[in-house]
Amino acid sequence: MFQYDFEGRYDLVRFIKTIQKAGLYAHLCIGYVCAEWNFGGFPVWLKYVPGISFRTDNEPLKRAMQGFIEKIVGLMKSEYLFESQGGPIILSQIENEYRVQSKLFGAAGYNYMSWAANMAVKMDTGVPWVMCKEDDAPDPVINTCNGLYYDAFTPNKPYKPKSWTEAWSGWYVCLIHQRPVQDVADVAQFIQRGGSFINYYMYHGGTNFGHSARGPFITTSYDYDAPIDEYALIGQPKYGHLKELHRAIKMCERALVSADPIVTSLGSLQQTYVYTSEKGDCASFLSNYDTKSAGRVFFNNMHYNLPPWSIDILSDCRNVVLNTAKVGVQTSQLEMLPTYSDMLSWESYDEHISSLDDSLTLISNGLLEQINVTRDMSDYLWYITSVDIGSSESFLHTVLIHVPAPYI
């Protein structure tokens, strides 16, 4: 039998209310979420429900999943936290990056995706539901994108808003190096092409504690070059340059929400996107897609010089308020210094190591799947073996054990 735990750092209501107090909006991703957690947020005990199969058209899974979604949505409704109730939650998300998984399951995957979408919509939250990386998301669920570059993304229906639920501000050090802020500012291309929602992943770093960190070579530190790191320290120039980018986009707000853009070629690799309103507002984006050479363009009877792979944002269709490649913020240099041990408080414990006569000992002729055995209660699964040496054999000096890479 399970029970919900909303105490301490699991206090979701308090977290959403803190967002509201800060004047921010919330995009609530309920599940399945991945999020570099063990089992993507599924509790380990769910693995042992008879007949269960994850993320497919499976009745035991759907019963558990619907119960969880109902619990979270009910909790948010009871505290008036959806935007339709005056709260900060403007979007809710069901499932996460299911497109590849869906194709692996075939018809069962499509049925599960459709069921999850319809089940979520019936919760009647008063705010839109989204599915990221799911091209087949049924109406009224909005399909969105995740990744590094998605300016060319379009939703599966023309009346759905163009939304980017994970604009990666960086990524794991083991996979890529730091992402330059000029490259992150490429989100301006998404805006100029009609993008209406961008969520950075991550903007403020954090920490995965205990067994919540998963994946190859992933540490508990989870900010990977975010504008604000897990200690709430500002990372410059990324934080400052993005702040200026957001300010520039905000200055174009009235024109951006009034109509679709008029797109005009200014050269072989240069374009302009012009937004106007009936009240006379005008905003334009002058884009240079050439990654190596600067471009000189003529627009509105004026010349503009565009650095390689950059965008000029003109909040009044004349004056440049920002160029994405020109960073006016000084780079911050963080220096790691030693601290005093008396400022720290450490705790440790001894974990039981089994012996051959232990009641917890299992006998196996091969390697075991660790979580199946430990139920995620320990980081360790100890293997004990014995070797018999006959009286006629020479003394044993070395034992060589070969473990295939997939089991490590």
DSSP 340-401: -GGG------PPP---TT-TT----SS---HHHHHTTS-S-----------TTSPPP-----
Q: What is the mean pLDDT of residues 21-29?
A: 97
Whether the predicted pLDDT of 17 surpasses 90 = yes
pLDDT of 300 reads 97
Kindly report, residue by residue over 277-329, the tens digit of the pLDDT: 999 999 999 999 999 999 999 999 999 999 999 999 999 999 999 999 999 99
Position with higher pLDDT, 86 vs 408: 86
**Do 220 and 207 touch, CB atoms closer than 8 A?**
yes
Using CA atoms, how far apart are residues 229 and 223, in angstroms rounded to an integer?
6
pLDDT of 301 reads 97
**Do 214 and 36 touch, CB atoms closer than 8 A?**
yes
3-state helix, strand, coil in the chain (%, to 5): 25, 20, 55
Kindly report, residue by residue over 186-236, the tens digit of the pLDDT: 899 999 999 999 999 999 988 877 777 766 556 677 787 899 998 899 999
Give me the domains of the chain, ranges plus CATH numbers.
8-253 (3.20.20.80)
Residues sharing a CB contact under 8 Å with residue 407, sequence separation 6 or more, in sequence order: 367
CA-nearest of 291, 297, 294 to 273 is 297
Whether the predicted pLDDT of 342 surpasses 80 = no
Torsion of CA 302, 272, 227, 76, to 10 degrees: 130
φ/ψ of 282, rounded to 5, equals: -145, 130
Q: What is the mean pLDDT of residues 364-374?
A: 84
pLDDT of 356 reads 66
Helix (H, G, I), strand (E, B) or coil at 191: helix
Picking from 132-141, 168-177, 382-391, which range would have the lowest pLDDT averaged per residue?
Answer: 168-177
Torsion of CA 204, 208, 213, 219, to 10 degrees: 70
Q: Quick one: which H or E segment has residue 78?
A: helix 59-78
Whether the predicted pLDDT of 263 surpasses 60 = yes
pLDDT of 376 reads 80
Strand order in the sheet with 270-276: 262-265, 270-276, 282-288, 310-314, 320-323
**Do 195 and 164 touch, CB atoms closer than 8 A?**
yes
**DSSP bridge partners of 274:** 262, 284
Say which of 7, 79, 83, 166 is annotated catalytic.
Answer: 166
Using CA atoms, how far apart are residues 343 and 105, in angstroms rounded to an integer?
53
Using CA atoms, how far apart are residues 268 and 309, in angstroms rounded to an integer?
13
pLDDT of 408 reads 59
**Do 2 and 45 touch, CB atoms closer than 8 A?**
yes
pLDDT tier at 396, thresholds 50, 70, 90? low
Kindly report, residue by residue over 41-81, the tens digit of the pLDDT: 888 899 999 999 999 999 999 999 999 999 999 999 999 99
Q: What is the mean pLDDT of residues 341-349?
A: 78
pLDDT of 163 reads 98
Q: Residue 208 is encoded by which pair of tokens?
A: 């995965």
Q: What is the mean pLDDT of residues 352-365?
A: 76
CA atoms within 13 A on the CB side of 291: 2
Alpha-carbon torsion 242, 248, 253, 255, what sign?
Answer: negative
Q: What is the mean pLDDT of residues 345-372?
A: 79
pLDDT tier at 34, thresholds 50, 70, 90? confident
Say which of 95, 97, 134, 244 is annotated catalytic.
Answer: 97
Does the active-site annotation cover 166? yes
The CB density around residue 265, as the number of other CB atoms within 10 Å, is 10
- DSSP string covering 119-187: HHHTT--SS-EEEET-TTPPTTSEEEEEES--TT---SSTTS-EEEEEE-S---TTTS-PPPHHHHTTH
